[in-house]
Amino acid sequence: MSTLRFDPFRDLDRLASDWFNLNSARTPRWAPMDAYRSGDTYMVHFDLPGIDEKSLEVTAENNTLTVHAERRPAAPDGAEYVVSERPMGTFSRQMVLGDGLDLENVSADYRDGVLTVTIPVAEQAKPRRINIARSSDEHKVIEGSSR
């Protein structure tokens, strides 16, 4: 029994996608992400399996967070691919961040193929309780004149 099966329709579909550059495994895609707020921190998780962490770059500039990564082929030079479905190349994703975030204290961690970016809320954007001054029970009459 053969381990690889020839399917002419699948191969024709793959060739058409490659020809029109649609869904090609060699065409980099955006990394899928999840983002949520937990207390005074925003957490963003990017799925980047197989990325060499030396190629990862996270920058924050002018309220824009940019994640840049690269996946290189695992096969040695001269190897001929039989199946190539994993996207290779450069991945880049940008997010516009609000003014209420502390871009000076953004941190990132890459573990098990997931890049986690932690973005704290800026102190000036955190909700504060406003004390209300109590006036005396005396009513004051303000007198004025009209011209």
For the stretch 127-137, pLDDT in tens is 778 888 877 66
For residue 20, name the pLDDT band (cuts at 50, 70, 90). Answer: low
Instruction: Give me the architecture of the 30-124 domain, per CATH.
Output: Sandwich (2.60)
Length of the chain: 147
A 10 A CB-CB count for 122 gives: 16
The pLDDT value given to residue 43: 96
Q: What CA–CA distance (Å, rounded) separates 23 from 20?
A: 9
Task: Identify the three-state secondary structure at position 110.
Answer: strand
